[in-house]
Amino acid sequence: MFEIYVEGSFSAGHALRGYKGKCENPHGHNYKVRLTLAGPSLDETGLLCDFVVLKQAMREVMASLDHKNLNDQAPFDQINPSAENLAKYFYDQASGRLPENGAGVRLSSVTVWETDTTAATYRPDGVAPRSESSR
């Protein structure tokens, strides 16, 4: 199995509804996002996917949230803009922006960091957690 990933960052504000503590108040984060793509084989040029394609999907999703109050943006006007919900949102939005690939290449996980030391990962059912690696 091959994996590649891209990372990016955006800034946004939010407040967690129903949370008892400091995070119930409006505050902001410099979020970092990692999209990880996995697949069993490479294409004829030796790539799992062109990084440009994966970066573009990530940037399109980030652009809709950058420098916004997440609580005012759908779907976070209905659900809490937690790191967990952001990771799922990025997965859903980026998946729809990636070209279909019949070779089993898929978005395997999305990780969203709120700080340097706190992050949440969304991985669809049936996808095993990956070990930490880099390229």
Within the chain, where are the H helices? 51-63, 83-95
Catalytic center residues: 23, 67, 114
What sign for the dihedral angle of Cα 35, 92, 20, 67?
Answer: positive
DSSP state of 129: P
Rg of the chain, C-alpha, whole Å: 16
40-59 in b/e form (b: 16+ CB < 10 A) is eeeeeeeebbeeeebeebbe
